[in-house]
Amino acid sequence: MGLGLIRSHEQEIGARAQVLLLHLSVPLLCVKVAPGIADSAIPGRAEVEFVSHQGTCKEAVLWCGAGNAPGRRRASVCIEQHWHAIDGQASEQLSVTTAAPGRWLHEPDPALIRAHALGPVAAELSAGLLDATLAYLVGPPGRRSPLVSSFEILVQTPLRREAIQAALDELGWSQLEIKKRGVDLEPEEFRKKLRIRGRNGPGTLVLTRAHGRHTGLLCRRVL
């Protein structure tokens, strides 16, 4: 039985029904779905695995049947030919911490985010959330994990062009990577408002929120 390409909410409901019917007829069922599948589209009887390769979440897999736990979430992450398996939690609760120059900002692998599996890597890094609603971690310097991209925070500013430009002038970067999470800004449009004329190598600007406030973090990539 083929599920085909799902293009509408009605087709999604039909596909979920087919999954449940298949589950009744076979002892173990595995269904490959898009990595962006909505939580509401995951059948209640299914365990979901999010699969990532080199920092990109490539697919999600629904597992139904023997050896699988309904509602369970997990991440399978491949980094340089090494696989990492991390269990998630349906209602993960992490503490919120403070960003400050000298601390490290960590961006988790997207499969961990989708699997609600930040807890183990946060504990490994002694890190907390930058904001209660966002999947950025902040912790002490020097702690590393292959499951995150890490940045040393050099300057924290209000999310205003003038404040960010003043910090860029002082840092003197020649190249700028712009990342964003939790703010309604387009990085490439924001880049057009900035002057990058230095000679001190590359840097990273993170447009985000910290404790509910819009902020700009100027960072040096360390991993």
User: Residue 176 is encoded by which pair of tokens?
Assistant: 């700028």
pLDDT at 171: 97
pTM above 0.85, yes or no: yes
Which is higher by pLDDT, 223 or 142?
Answer: 142
pLDDT at 24: 59
| Exposed / middle / buried, residue 35 (Cβ in 10 Å: 0-12, 13-18, 19+) | middle
Which pairs from 196-200 meet CB under 8 Å and 24+ separation?
A: 196/168, 198/168, 198/169, 198/171, 198/172, 198/173, 198/174, 199/172, 199/174, 200/171, 200/172, 200/173, 200/174
pLDDT of 1 > 80? The answer is no
Same domain membership, residue 124 and residue 186: yes
Domain boundary among 71, 92, 119: 71
Same domain membership, residue 181 and residue 130: yes
Same domain membership, residue 108 and residue 67: no
Which is higher by pLDDT, 2 or 73?
Answer: 73
Confidence of residue 89 (pLDDT cuts 50, 70, 90): confident
Same domain membership, residue 178 and residue 114: yes
Section 117-137 average pLDDT: 95
Section 65-79 average pLDDT: 91
Furthest CA-CA distance within the chain: 66
pLDDT at 9: 45
Same domain membership, residue 65 and residue 116: no
Confidence of residue 166 (pLDDT cuts 50, 70, 90): very high
Same domain membership, residue 160 and residue 54: no
Same domain membership, residue 116 and residue 31: no
CA distances from 35 to 8, 60, 83, 119 (A): 17, 5, 18, 21
The residue behind tokens 């173990």 is 28
Q: Residue 46's domain spans which residues?
A: 9-71
User: Residue 215 is encoded by which pair of tokens?
Assistant: 């902020």
Predicted confidence (pLDDT) per residue in 167-176, tens digit: 999 999 999 9
Any idea what DSSP says for residue 41?
Answer: G
Which is higher by pLDDT, 101 or 29?
Answer: 101
Mean pLDDT of the chain: 89
Q: Rounded to a whole number, what is the distance in angstroms from the first to the last CA of the chain?
A: 45
81, part of any domain: no
